[in-house]
């Protein structure tokens, strides 16, 4: 068997949506460095010029045009080292399932020696979960296209294409590809990393060719791209695992088969004079490590890419605000996090002490603002206006909304973003206050169930005990009335989260959840709370997606929903 060694560079980098000039600079710098080691091909992620997902920016002609201009600039810069670059291309394919004309494609350009030498259009467009690619792009119609570097054929495809049985990768290998390069902007969720590696390894073994899986890294609104790129040999073994949740440029030599096929090659391989160091794979994170790293990266990029430096966190002494502040410090550093305690008469001294201890442990600025006088003024105003006593929930929400007003006022004055502290369990059942504790620019724990809040807190304390143990061990309470505990309104969180995961993540019916052994009245009450609080969730700030069904784009339920669930008691 005739073989040849090619040198590849994987550019697992963060490409911000809309930052076309900044993205161009990253690409050019990486291309220049790769030339120095005689790399044959530098591989960049999906839509690396525009960032992913650009969403309705794609409807702007000026945006798409700028993306073309930058690709031409990169091509003109290119030398003997070629590059595979994700960009938005024009499309002449008129196949459509509706009457909306789609004139662009999600594409990969191959540049070398001052010119664009080839282009591949993504053939399979994901239109589920957080993806809306069929809204914008035309499907590629040439899944079997190859790109010849001298006598080595490379199959290039994009993200979803690799997951399709008998799809582009299979067709490219059948046509003579000796290696598959798959470029991605694949968002993180807690089940995805292992699944990616397993499926790509199986495909490499089936097709008997090496596969390079190159992923983007960085946060974009609620999405986190976790990197974790890898290289699989023809036997299905992972020969290199890149880092997760951080940028990395890695280069390696790979021996590939030369096929006995005559081509009209437009691309060439370099003559390599020097060897390069052998790569050592990075460790992969377990579930809690991955969740924590995703939350850190998500909040850091959201804050910084939106031109904020500091964040504000309302510290109640409870576990949710403690974990939020801790992650913020780990992501942004202590000097960029400000803790605000706003006690009322219902907050025991121990809660304020827990908040103080947390702030001390984290080394953050800490302010205490007493709210009881303000609460009483508003109570009196409402009672006088209504000429009747206030209902319990009205009185409780006054406190939460005053806190929301105060912390948003501080945000305006200080130019600091507010991180809201609610978790997925609370948001699911509406155990939260609109314009109160839900106020903020980023809801960090939006996709973290309460039971996972405890696990993440204990996980973080294994490194160093920063979250007060009392915040973890005490019975959870909103502290908006005397002797109030979450258990007064909700099932135990272990049970609640079990129900919520079945209903939200798996779309189980009430009957199926009850059949799992949970008392029917509890199931019906929880599901009713979830359904009727959709209006609150629609008004919550974005937060890091961690699960397969995060609130937001992942789970698109109508607010006005007159579907009646029958109760079988």
**Mean pLDDT for the stretch of residues 215-232:** 96
- In this predicted structure, what is the pLDDT of residue 65? 95
Instruction: Specify whether 122 is catalytic.
Output: yes
Instruction: Specify whether 159 is catalytic.
Output: yes
Task: Tell which wins on pLDDT, 485 or 291.
Answer: 291
**Mean pLDDT for the stretch of residues 62-87:** 96
**Mean pLDDT for the stretch of residues 154-160:** 96
Average pLDDT, the chain: 93
The string of DSSP codes covering 190-202 is: TTHHHHHHHHHHH
**Residue 27 tokens, joined:** 């690409």
- In this predicted structure, what is the pLDDT of residue 60? 93
- In this predicted structure, what is the pLDDT of residue 356? 96
Q: What is the DSSP letter of 216?
A: -
The distance in angstroms from the start CA to the end CA of the chain is 70
pLDDT band for 539, please (50, 70, 90 cuts): very high
Catalytic residue among 159, 424, 446, 498: 159
Number of helices (H) and strands (E) in the chain: give both, helices first: 17, 19
Contact of 105 with 93, CB cutoff 8 Å: yes
- In this predicted structure, what is the pLDDT of residue 282? 95
pLDDT tops 70 at residue 95: no
pLDDT in tens, 3-34: 899 999 999 999 999 999 999 999 999 999 99
C-alpha distances (whole Å) from 373 to each of 343, 348, 370, 439, 479 are 11, 17, 8, 21, 17
How far apart CA 66 and CA 33 sit, in angstroms, is 25
The model carries a pTM of: 0.94
pLDDT tops 80 at residue 524: yes
Contact of 467 with 326, CB cutoff 8 Å: yes
Contact of 312 with 283, CB cutoff 8 Å: no
Domains in the chain with CATH codes: 3-273 (3.60.110.10), 288-484 (3.40.50.620)
Contact of 136 with 167, CB cutoff 8 Å: no
- In this predicted structure, what is the pLDDT of residue 569? 64
pLDDT tops 90 at residue 236: yes
Among the listed residues 369, 361, 306, 366, the one whose alpha carbon sits nearest the alpha carbon of residue 337? 366
pLDDT > 70 in the chain, percent = 98
Catalytic residue among 24, 66, 117, 122: 122
DSSP β-bridge partners for residue 227: 244
Catalytic residue among 24, 26, 46, 536: 46
Q: What is the DSSP letter of 227?
A: B
**Residue 416 tokens, joined:** 């600091």
pLDDT > 90 in the chain, percent = 82
C-alpha distances (whole Å) from 446 to each of 1, 225, 441 are 54, 17, 12
Contact of 18 with 54, CB cutoff 8 Å: yes
How far apart CA 102 and CA 93 sit, in angstroms, is 9
**Most confident among 145-149, 210-214, 273-277 (mean pLDDT):** 210-214
The string of DSSP codes covering 235-267 is: TS-EEEE--BSS-EEEEEEEEEEPPS------B
Instruction: Specify whether 123 is catalytic.
Output: no
Which residue's structure tokens are 């993306």? 67
């Amino acid at each position: 068997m005739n073989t040849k060694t090619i040198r590849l560079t994987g550019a697992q980098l963060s490409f911000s949506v809309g930052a076309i000039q900044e993205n161009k600079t990253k690409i050019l710098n990486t291309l220049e460095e790769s030339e120095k080691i005689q790399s044959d091909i530098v591989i960049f992620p999906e839509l690396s010029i525009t960032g992913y997902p650009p969403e309705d920016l794609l409807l702007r002609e000026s945006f798409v045009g700028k993306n073309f201009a930058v690709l031409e600039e990169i091509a003109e810069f290119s030398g003997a080292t070629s590059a595979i670059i994700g960009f938005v291309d024009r499309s002449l394919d008129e196949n459509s399932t509706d009457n909306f004309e789609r004139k662009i494609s999600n594409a990969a350009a191959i540049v070398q020696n001052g010119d664009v030498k080839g282009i591949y259009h993504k053939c399979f467009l994901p239109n589920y979960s957080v993806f809306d690619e069929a809204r914008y792009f035309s499907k590629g119609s040439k899944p079997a296209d190859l790109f010849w570097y001298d006598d080595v054929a490379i199959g290039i495809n994009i993200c979803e294409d690799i997951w399709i049985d008998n799809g582009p990768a299979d067709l490219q290998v059948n046509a003579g590809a000796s290696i598959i390069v798959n470029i991605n902007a694949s968002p993180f969720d807690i089940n995805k990393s292992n699944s990616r590696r397993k499926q790509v390894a199986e495909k490499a073994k089936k097709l008997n060719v090496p596969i390079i899986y190159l992923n983007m890294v960085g946060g974009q609104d609620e999405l986190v791209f976790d990197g974790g790129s890898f290289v699989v040999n023809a036997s299905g073994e992972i020969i290199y695992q890149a880092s997760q949740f951080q940028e990395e440029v890695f280069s390696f030599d790979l021996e590939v088969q030369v096929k006995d096929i005559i081509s009209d090659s437009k691309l060439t391989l370099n003559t390599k004079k020097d060897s390069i160091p052998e790569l050592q794979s990075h460790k992969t994170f377990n579930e809690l490590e991955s969740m924590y790293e995703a939350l850190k990266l998500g909040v850091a990029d959201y804050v910084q890419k939106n031109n904020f430096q500091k964040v504000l966190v309302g510290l109640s002494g409870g576990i949710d605000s403690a974990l939020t502040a801790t992650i913020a410090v780990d992501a942004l550093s202590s000097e960029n996090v400000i803790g605000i305690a706003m006690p009322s008469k219902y907050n025991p001294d121990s809660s304020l002490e827990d908040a103080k201890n947390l702030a001390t442990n984290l080394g953050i600025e800490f302010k205490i603002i007493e709210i009881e006088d303000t609460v009483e003024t508003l109570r009196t105003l409402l009672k006088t206006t209504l000429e009747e006593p206030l209902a319990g929930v009205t009185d409780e929400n006054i406190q939460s909304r005053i806190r929301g007003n105060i912390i948003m006022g501080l945000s305006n004055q200080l130019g600091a973003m507010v991180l809201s502290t609610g978790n997925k369990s609370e948001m699911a059942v509406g155990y939260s206050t609109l314009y109160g504790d839900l106020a903020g620019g980023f809801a960090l724990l939006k996709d973290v169930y309460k039971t996972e809040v405890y696990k993440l807190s204990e996980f973080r304390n294994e490194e160093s005990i920063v979250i007060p143990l009392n915040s973890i061990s005490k019975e959870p309470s909103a502290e908006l009335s005397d002797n109030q505990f979450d258990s007064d309104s909700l099932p135990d969180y272990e049970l609640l989260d079990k129900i919520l995961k079945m209903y939200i993540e798996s779309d189980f019916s009430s009957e199926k959840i009850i059949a799992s052994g949970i008392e029917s009245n509890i199931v019906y009450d929880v599901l009713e709370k979830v359904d009727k609080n959709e209006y609150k969730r629609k008004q919550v700030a974005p937060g890091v997606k961690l699960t397969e069904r995060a609130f937001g784009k992942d789970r698109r339920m109508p607010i006005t929903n007159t579907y009646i669930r029958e109760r079988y008691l």
